[in-house]
Amino acid sequence: MMKIMFVCTGNTCRSAMAECILKKLIKDEKIEGVKVTSAGFSVTEAEMNSYARKALNELGVKPRKFLPKQITEKLLKSHNAIICMTKKHKDALYGFNNLYTVSELAKIDGDVIDPYGKDYEAYIETAKLLYKSCSIILNLIKEELKT
């Protein structure tokens, strides 16, 4: 079983959206043997941000009930790939294996900017960037599953 975890600060916007998007893409492709989760460094809220949920719906991704999760050492060690939204997140996890940033995997410039506290347009921009990035990550997963 390939286990992938997206990581951001609060696990209510970026990593939550990335998790939902990649799950949808995997389901659409009927790929089995891949589990996708997400977690945050400082989880303080009990659910996904409403703008994040709305942005996902606009892109055709139906977010299920989502509960933000706090990063733990056990959680980190149980995943094959940990995909961080920023280089700062990746640096904070130094010492763990299989650390990546979205930008490294998807070949995009810079970090995935945090839309938290911004207007809805910022969430849509982030969701679109994550959708594009997750499509590229999906292709990497398919290649990995072939080997």
- Residues annotated as catalytic are 8, 14, 114
SS3 66: coil
Query: What CA–CA distance (Å, rounded) separates 120 from 112?
Result: 16
Q: What is the dihedral of CA 40, 19, 73, 95, to 10 degrees?
A: -90
Q: Which conformational region is residue 11 in: left (phi greater than 0), alpha (psi within -120 to 50 degrees), or beta? A: left
Q: Which H, E and C letters describe 74-116, residue by residue?
A: HHHHCCCEEEECCHHHHHHCCCCCCEEEHHHHHCCCCCCCCCC
